[in-house]
Structure 1
Amino acid sequence: MRHWLIFPVLMAAVLDARAPSAQQVDFVVDATLPVRDTELPYTLDLNLAAVAPTRIGVGALLDLREIQKTVPERLADNAIVDNCGLQARLDDLSFGAQGDAIDLDGDVTITIFECSRTSERNFQRGEQKKAILANMSTEATVELRDNCAYFKLIDLTLTAPEEQREQLLDDDTLDSVKELMLAAVDLVLNDTPLCPKLPAELASLDPVYDNGGPKEIGEGGLGVFLEGSVDVSPSTILDILTVLQRQELIPGPP
């Protein structure tokens, strides 16, 4: 039998996967996304399908609905921007997928402070001058770099109550906060890419993802899809056979 027919069946045996056909294997892996001092859980739904005698197609769906529930709670009342004269605190956030886009909405409290220079490099925050409650709306997408999915904000809109809008436009407060928030959020997102790792039994496969983006799961559920392939070499198949032998799923070498 050809390797491209044997290979997915070996995958199913090693991983106790669901095998809908002899040339396709689906299985689910619990994973985590490291974010600073914590880890957020998500699920990786992986599909392997034979596409050529020496090539396996890989489709990965990252189910981020648990992260979607957790992140707004963790970000509540956190300062996105906090410098001597300005603080922008995220009071509320909701986000979800709509087709192939991610929509984010939230309330931001912008607080302006007196700020005085105390030395060539140091400043001291003084009394509060004013506080404004603004609404934030933005869209995000997914960029694929180095086999990892990076979230990226497309743009960010801040709107303030009508009675404060004219003053804010005069002193460019909203534009300043917008640029600072974009820079701060992009920094965090660049530090927290989604780099799905295969189980140890499949680590030698080393898939290459060449396409990806947001994907809605159910109604508004946040997901990310990745598509790519794996080069199947004799050494890779031998690695899988070795795992099978170690688990006593097939006889060992004579």
Structure 2
Amino acid sequence: MDVALFSGDVMFSLAERIEAQDRALPVTAYFGLSSLGDTRLGIKAAVDLRDIQRDLPSLLSGRLDPDCGLGIELGLAQTQAEGDAVRARGTVKADLYRCKGRDTEREARGAHLWTQLVDFDAVLGAGLTGECVGFELRELALDPRGFLGGLGTAFGITEKVRKAILDKGNAALRDTPICPDMPPALERLSPDFGSGGAIEIGDGGLGAALSGTVETDAERLVGLMALWQEKGFLPGAAEGLSPLQQGAVAFRFDQRLETLEPPVPYRLDLGMSAVAPTRIGLRARLDLSALQERLPELVEGALLVDDCSRRIELRGLETIAQAKSLVALARLEARSFTCERTGDSAWQRGALEHSEEVDVRAEVSASLSDNCTVFELIDIARDPPLPVISEGRQGARTQAARTLFIDAVDALLKDRPLCPDLPEELRVLDPQFSTGGPVEIGNGGLGFGLEGSVDLSTGTMIAILTLLQERGVLPPRP
């Protein structure tokens, strides 16, 4: 098979079996898909019919009874592709009978009157019928044998044979079109074939070739993803997850934050719906409850402030999601030291002056940057609050220390964005999340809600199909 007949960015073949009479005949179809526009793929299909061709003589040979007075026994000897047509040769044995009560309910075949042998040479043409290649008898040359054959022609028997072969033969051909089926994983892609016909494979081998387009708009891609989910190729969705109920298709992915040691699991629920021909809307929710449980362990001993006169370490942390913000209850170990100047820009930490453990309450929000969650400190206060000293030297030092501490914690948070490793099925879509913020899961569970979109192109579809082929969902490249 010439690869040019089905070339494309993604190519695959399918081996099928077609039921014909009392046997199953093998057929191989080759497909190629390539980008043709924003929402259209070009499709080429080539079908190898040589195995059917070898069995055609036995399949098509047999008895025909066009009417009460004529019986035909067709013997097909040879079929051969010639360019975009098929030539068939064989012999017809025609038997003429007396017909009693012709064209009535009591019609009955009577005595045998005549036998005629006719050699035939037929040319079958092919054309596109819907999404199938159909064959029809276009030329039929009859060569009656011998003297009796000449008499049969004179008596009109040969013409009856011609009409019977054309009528019955074309009827049989119409009942057996060649319709290449897409693989099960792509059955919702409905090819629109614009041209098709017979082709010659090698020296006289019979085949068929078709070409057309496939629409790949956002609605169709979402429908395909739902199909892949039904067939088990993509993960299922969470049951009863209200934020995603409006999505045309929803998935649940269990992932791990590999940047932490040991890695921390998290869950991603994703809803997808078509919002425009070339755009898919996304609604996602990250369940970070496992990270929330591990957070105290991960941040234990984190150094928040360390300068000449102060050292503040994190000794304990508890986080609670409340509506659209995150509340952190932390225990700090705060120490103050004497500090002496040793040069124009040099200082030397001295003796410990004071040490205490302080409970603080911090309110944290979050925003998106390059699909990463960046946490930001909104406010921080002692818990329980103490009287504010706002006057004099002590008040100024307290306010300066508070400002320094807030800046340090804010910098610490911003330097540690949460960048989930998206599943490969999503990475090929190149999703862009535009808005997001903390959400409460259950009773105080830490989550993060995201909204965004995928700008769809045929390149996106090609990337998805390539990934599915690599995973064995689609047949391999020929």
Normalised TM-score (structure 2): 0.47
1:206 aligns with 2:424: no
Percent identity reads 32
After superposition, residues 69-148 of structure 1 pair within 5 angstroms as 69-148=293-372
SS at match of 1:126: strand
Residues 159, 95 of structure 1: CA spacing in aligned structure 2 closer, same or farther, 3 A cutoff?
A: closer
**CA RMSD, Structure 1 to Structure 2 (Å):** 3.0
Residue matched to 2:270? 47
Residue matched to 2:224? 7
Q: Could you tell me which of 217, 234, 245 is aligned with 1:16? A: 234
SS at match of 1:18: coil
Q: CA deviation at 1:161?
A: 8.3
- Measure, in 1, the Cα distance between the counterparts of 2:311 and 2:470: 58
Is the CA contact (8 Å cut-off) linking 1:99 and 1:215 kept in structure 2? Answer: yes
Amino acid of the residue matched to residue 18 of structure 1?
A: G
Q: CA deviation at 1:51?
A: 1.9
Amino acid of the residue matched to residue 45 of structure 1?
A: L
Give per-residue Cα distances to partners, 1:210-248, cap 9 Å, x unaligned: 211101111111111111111221121122112222223
Amino acid of the residue matched to residue 80 of structure 1?
A: L
Residues 173, 16 of structure 1: CA spacing in aligned structure 2 closer, same or farther, 3 A cutoff?
A: same
- CA radius of gyration, larger in: 2
Amino acid of the residue matched to residue 228 of structure 1?
A: G
Residue matched to 2:250? 25
Long gaps (5+) in structure 2: 1-187, 189-214, 240-244
Is the CA contact (8 Å cut-off) linking 2:255 and 2:421 kept in structure 1? Answer: no
After superposition, residues 115-194 of structure 1 pair within 5 angstroms as 115-158=339-382, 170-171=393-394, 172-194=396-418
Amino acid of the residue matched to residue 191 of structure 1?
A: D
Residue matched to 2:201? none
Is the CA contact (8 Å cut-off) linking 1:10 and 1:240 kept in structure 2? Answer: no
Is the CA contact (8 Å cut-off) linking 1:102 and 1:140 kept in structure 2? Answer: yes
Normalised TM-score (structure 1): 0.84
Is the CA contact (8 Å cut-off) linking 2:304 and 2:412 kept in structure 1? Answer: no
Amino acid of the residue matched to residue 264 of structure 2?
A: P
Is the CA contact (8 Å cut-off) linking 2:257 and 2:421 kept in structure 1? Answer: no
1:245 aligns with 2:469: yes
Identify which range, 168-177 or 147-156, moves more after superposition: 168-177
SS at match of 2:474: coil
Give per-residue Cα distances to partners, 1:38-71, cap 9 Å, x unaligned: 4652424132422233322222212211221222
Residue matched to 2:37? none
Residue matched to 1:229? 453
Is the CA contact (8 Å cut-off) linking 1:7 and 1:237 kept in structure 2? Answer: no
- Measure, in 1, the Cα distance between the counterparts of 2:278 and 2:390: 65
Q: CA deviation at 1:15?
A: 5.1
The structure showing larger relative contact order (alpha-carbon pairs under 8 Å, at least 6 residues apart) is: 1
Is the CA contact (8 Å cut-off) linking 1:33 and 1:192 kept in structure 2? Answer: no
List 4+ stretches of structure 1 deviating above 6 A: none
SS at match of 2:416: coil
The structure with more helix, counted as a fraction of residues? 1
Is the CA contact (8 Å cut-off) linking 1:46 and 1:58 kept in structure 2? Answer: no
Give per-residue Cα distances to partners, 1:131-160, cap 9 Å, x unaligned: 233331121111122322211011111368
Long gaps (5+) in structure 1: none
- Measure, in 2, the Cα distance between the counterparts of 1:156 and 1:70: 22
SS at match of 2:374: strand
